[in-house]
Amino acid sequence: MDYYYLIKHLHVTAVGLSITLFLIRAYWSIVESSLLQARLVRILPHIVDTVLLVCGVILAAMIGPNQPWILTKIVLLLVYIGVGTIAIKRGKTRRTRAIAALISVAVFVYIVGVAIHHDSASWFA
């Protein structure tokens, strides 16, 4: 049985869930909704992102070490996480959180382009 496609499908599903949960949480942060404090809202994204990361590491190991685009994805993931925390938690004003959310989504879209094209130039390849 080829586990690559099973893990890739799980990874892509987690990607979709992760960005959906991010968008919801970022919106709630911008409008200062109390829903952001719900227990499920605080826990579920971490579970989904853990699945996403574990699958990504397994896929990277299966693909092999000589893939510069994977390093690009890792660096951009760190940027996405950092800016995402500003969008959801650390931004002091609504405007700051909104701008950080837009930057996070742009970085996310770039990461998807890197993954699809297997090229660090992403959509510009």
- Reply yes or no on whether the pLDDT at 41 is more than 70: yes
Report the pLDDT value the prediction gives residue 123, as an integer from 0 to 100.
95
pLDDT band at 125 (very low <50, low <70, confident <90, very high): confident
Contact 28, 5 (CB under 8 A): no
Domain ranges of the chain: 3-124
Contact 77, 49 (CB under 8 A): no
> What pLDDT digit, counting tens, does each position of 50-93 carry?
999 999 999 999 998 789 999 999 999 999 999 999 999 999 99
Report the pLDDT value the prediction gives residue 65, as an integer from 0 to 100.
76
- Reply yes or no on whether the pLDDT at 1 is more than 60: no
- Reply yes or no on whether the pLDDT at 98 is more than 80: yes
124: closest CA among 109, 82, 60?
109
- Reply yes or no on whether the pLDDT at 44 is more than 80: yes
